[in-house]
Amino acid sequence: MGFLRLLLLVMVVAPWAVSSASPARQRLAVKRRLKRLNKPAVHSIQSPDGDTIDCVHVAHQPAFDHPFLKNHTVQMRPSFYPEGLNLERETRVESEERASSITQLWHLNGRCPENTIPIRRTREEDLLRASSVKRYGRKKQRRVARPSFAAPEPINENGHQHAIAYVEGDKYYGARATINVWNPKIQQPNEFSLSQLWILGGSFGEDLNSIEAGWQVSPDLYGDNNTRLFTYWTSDAYQATGCYNLLCSGFIQVSNNIAMGASIFPVSSYHGSQYDISILIWKDPKLGNWWMQFGNDYVLGYWPAFLFSYLADSASMVEWGGEVVNSEPDGQHTATQMGSGHFPDEGFARSSYFRNIQIVDPSNNLRTPRRLGTFTEQSNCYDVQSGDNDDWGCYFYFGGPGQSERCP
């Protein structure tokens, strides 16, 4: 009888003991990660969208958790800007929008003081939505289109679909573009929609280097459907290095005005007001760091050159455009929108665009690309159409609704 009671006790208690231990370990891992991500704040600002923006001293930001940055002296401004970056020359659209310029929602309730940077506070629920605490802030799989392949698959690997323009075949030291901002509908919480530029080096295998920036809607990452400014980097095709925004050590921010991962406001409306953002990424020819500028006024910070292998020298490809995730199985298609959710042939105030597209050449000059290719896996779902004119220079419209009469 004693043995049977012991056996019964093991059968009943052991499963409970195992299941309770796992959540306990998870809670400890979450607590440790939150402590690492949420640095002590000099001041905190409550954003109308529910975010908390912490103003953290420049020297205490997450970048300096990196072992190679322990004794790093922050470069508060780039040594050189690209030649041809003339901020006095504005297109008609830029001039009209200056009176009601795009901003971030948290600005409505305050700004961070000098010598601090704004960081969106990570919450426990953010970590719990991730596939694991360790993977929080990282892309799950490779998410770069491969337009140089002669015969791409009809549907991109892992359900990612693109509508992009690109250049390749030379050495590139940066890129610039102006992107109008929308709030596309997302069908499933594990899907996202983004518009961004990619600075790429290496192959599309396990050695891919990538620097990325733009806007995105990602319920899985942020817990809502707001349109947010984001950055990303990786030096090994999204395997173990890099992250979104400031969710790991690496990117060094110097601006106290713009918070990565924070909501952008206002956004464009169909057949209504159009709002856009300008992004410039370039390699400092003196120190080799990759800098990012947002709009005409905000130099955000830089990715140190040592983070990369191929990009320590230059990029071999630049891409601009949109990307979504199709999570539907068995050949079905998601109704997640790209860009405005409308096809490029609808044009201005209806479709999403990139305009004033430029690259930085080996002489540190901003110039229009000589040849701009385009690529999409399924043009009946998401498409891209390029052009050029005097006002917008090199440009393209892109996007689509996803699942529709044209896209089963």
DSSP letter at 4? H
Encoded amino acid at 179, one letter:
I
Task: Evaluate whether residue 19 is within a structural domain.
Answer: no
Task: Evaluate whether residue 7 is within a structural domain.
Answer: no
Contacts of 211 by beta carbon, 8 Å cutoff, 6+ apart? 198, 199, 231, 232, 233, 281, 290, 303, 311
Task: Evaluate whether residue 137 is within a structural domain.
Answer: no
Q: Report how far residue 224's alpha carbon sits from residue 399's, in angstroms, rounded to the nearest whole number.
A: 21
Task: Evaluate whether residue 29 is within a structural domain.
Answer: no
Q: Report how far residue 143's alpha carbon sits from residue 155's, in angstroms, rounded to the nearest whole number.
A: 13
Task: Evaluate whether residue 81 is within a structural domain.
Answer: no
Q: Identify the CA nearest to 293 among candidates 82, 51, 110.
A: 82
Q: Identify the CA nearest to 117 among candidates 53, 49, 65.
A: 53
Quote the pLDDT of residue 86: 63
Task: Evaluate whether residue 2 is within a structural domain.
Answer: no
Encoded amino acid at 137, one letter:
G
Given the residues 94, 212, 319, 377, select the one marked as catalytic: 212
Which two tokens mark 60?
A: 């205490």
Count of structural domains, the chain: 1
Range of the domain at 386: 41-76+88-129+158-399
Quote the pLDDT of residue 146: 60
Contacts of 133 by beta carbon, 8 Å cutoff, 6+ apart? 26, 29, 30, 33, 127
Cα maximum dimension of the chain: 92
Q: Which ranges of 101-215 would DSSP assign to H, the alpha helix? A: 124-129
Mean pLDDT per block of 10 residues along the chain (408 residues) reads 42 38 82 95 98 97 94 93 69 41 92 98 95 89 54 52 96 98 95 97 90 97 97 95 96 98 97 96 96 95 97 97 88 90 98 98 96 95 97 97 92
Quote the pLDDT of residue 158: 67
Quote the pLDDT of residue 327: 85
Task: Evaluate whether residue 3 is within a structural domain.
Answer: no
Quote the pLDDT of residue 285: 94
Quote the pLDDT of residue 102: 79
DSSP letter at 82? P
Given the residues 94, 191, 319, 323, select the one marked as catalytic: 323
Active site residue 323: yes
Task: Evaluate whether residue 52 is within a structural domain.
Answer: yes
Quote the pLDDT of residue 20: 42
Quote the pLDDT of residue 142: 53
Quote the pLDDT of residue 374: 97
pTM beyond 0.85, yes or no: yes
Q: Identify the CA nearest to 213 among candidates 137, 286, 319, 116.
A: 319
Active site residue 346: no
| Residue 85 CB neighbours (<10 A) | 17
Contact 372, 356 (CB under 8 A): no
